[in-house]
Structure 1
Amino acid sequence: MTKKIVVLPGDGIGPEIVAEAVKILEKFREEGLNINLEYGLIGGAAYDETGTPLPAETLEMSKQADAILLGAVGGYKWESLDISVRPEKGLLGIRSELNLFANLRPAILYPQLADASTLKPEVVAGLDLMIVRELTGGIYFGQPRGIRTLDNGEKQGFNTLVYRESEINRIGKVAFDIAAKRQGRVCSVDKANVLESTELWRETMTTLSKSYPDIELSHMYVDNAAMQLVRAPKQFDVMVTTNMFGDILSDCASMLTGSIGMLPSASLDENSKGMYEPIHGSAPDIAGQNIANPLATILSAAMMLRYTLDEASMADRIEKAVSKVLDDGLRTADIYSAGMTKVSTSEMGDAVLAAL
């Protein structure tokens, strides 16, 4: 049965990095992987052409797909737009409409890049943690929200942080199930000492843990978690947290690995249908220069093969190929160090393809 993959290059460096991941998927298709690729618009590129960051055609196409490969959205060009039509609304919209509630963000330090991390090698060597971020609830989606004018004429911005037990339970189950296949430890991150919504989060995670007696559950306030990620990141196995906290902590964790350009992500629904994207942004300052790092996007394609297409062996091959090109000393600008060979976006993609 043919699997449908929707490709959404998006904005900035998105088209460049997605093109390199598509090379890999095309190679597997030549080897017999039964997939069909369809392209769509999202973000600023979609706004420019259709007046909306998430066209109905893109949304419908994505709903019919088995998986989505996304580049990035946003850029300086669209910052002056009303918030309702900014590129990021396309990304938030597709996550919400497809109910992609579980965001998996691995932070793995390739041994070849230990010196690229800003932390001492002994602190980060062997790092392998998974951040599980709740993606369709919390303050990014809570209502009411907006900007209003008070009686005294002063403007006030407001957002609502809200979580239901069912939302917490389903993301918690994802985290516990992943931990069962790893080291068996889950750290739930909250701010239960000052936020009632995350007090409920902690209570719900504690109750859920009783169904997973073999998994060790710990709790940590988000400010301490940020500090601990820098102080001793290898203490963590799986971290599970809210939408906003996960957004911030996963970017923090990304720099432990040497570059945000190395980290993939998966956003899954309850049936493992998912959207796969690098966790970095659109980097408009380097767009079109063929210098962006495509490895996070290529590794996102590997996650797609593993989690949605059930092709673990192909995912393994991609990950080994990435390790091989790093062994060979190839580096894009963001991970370059003296003595290595600096390569472009397309050259890195070609090198991974050759290593396959």
Structure 2
Amino acid sequence: MNAKRQLHLTVLGSGSWGSVLADVLAKNGHAVTIYGRNPQEIAEINEHHTNTHYIANLHMDESIAATTDLRQAVTGAAAIFFVIPTQAIRSVAEKVGAILNEEGNRPFLISAAKGLEEGSLDRISQVLSQSIPAAVRGDIVILSGPSHAEDVAKRDITTLTAASANDDAAAWVQWIVMNDFMRIYTSPDVVGVELGGAIKNVIAIGAGAIHGLGYGDNTKAALMTRGLAEMARLGVAFGADPLTFSGLSGLGDLIVTCTSTNSRNWRCGNRLGQGEPLQHILDTMGMVVEGVPTAKAAHDLSSQAQVDMPICEAIYEVLYRQRPLQDSIDALMGRIAKPEIDF
């Protein structure tokens, strides 16, 4: 990265992905501030350049400044990355909007979170556009794809999609993030990229659950393939390009989230399959399991749009109606026969 083009970038969220993304941006030559609410974590980042609760063996770039002061974090930023739990984004974004209204720096807003807001059923780009007026911000870009923080921290080759209604904004994010181990592609399909990133977390809970129950690779392949069909079906109903779901934010993210123990959604499902109560799993996970609230949002959204999503519905019933896992699997296998390609 050309040091003459150094930018001031802000990452909101000091969890695993926020910490790793901040490190990538700093190593790309940018001046990075990371914001978090936990004073102990922020002090550790500033003093030791680590965040051991979330991401072991990561030595963060020593130029990164960490703070618990939201105003300090966003003032003067060229771009603000939202890397916080989906259900917290609206409240934080409203505070950011108030600060930007006073500061006037109009940064790009980049979502690197994946989920749907409960209640409103809004995608994150919708939450951001509603919470931060267009007059005080730049364009909104979604950064999504198969990107476990643990692998990025090791500089494993990673590919992501930057999606925006503005092609230039997506290309700008591509430019600031891409390096020799991270390759970024652009897309105009914001709806498809966001829904793919959200719904794959629900399917990953199912993938973990069938592993916990002792099912094998055939079952995993069936779940992932039919889960992908559900993602595409929902996306098309809301105007997404079906080809998006064959890309990084659809199939790519589905593969990594449904097959890796690094996935907290997979781990949640695996523990469910082994008989642990959901609330105990959530209380002891140590991180937010985005697929759990997204399962309810997906249930409500598919019901509203009258889109058939039997796998997602089965996972919702397990999580929210305490339906036994095996009963849900038996019900799925007993559904009426149908063509494979059926939108």
TM-score (norm 2): 0.27
Would you tell me which structure has more strand in proportion to its own residues? 1
Instruction: Specify which structure has the bigger relative contact order, considering alpha-carbon pairs within 8 angstroms and separated by 6 or more residues.
Output: 1
Would you tell me which structure has more helix in proportion to its own residues? 2
TM-score (norm 1): 0.26
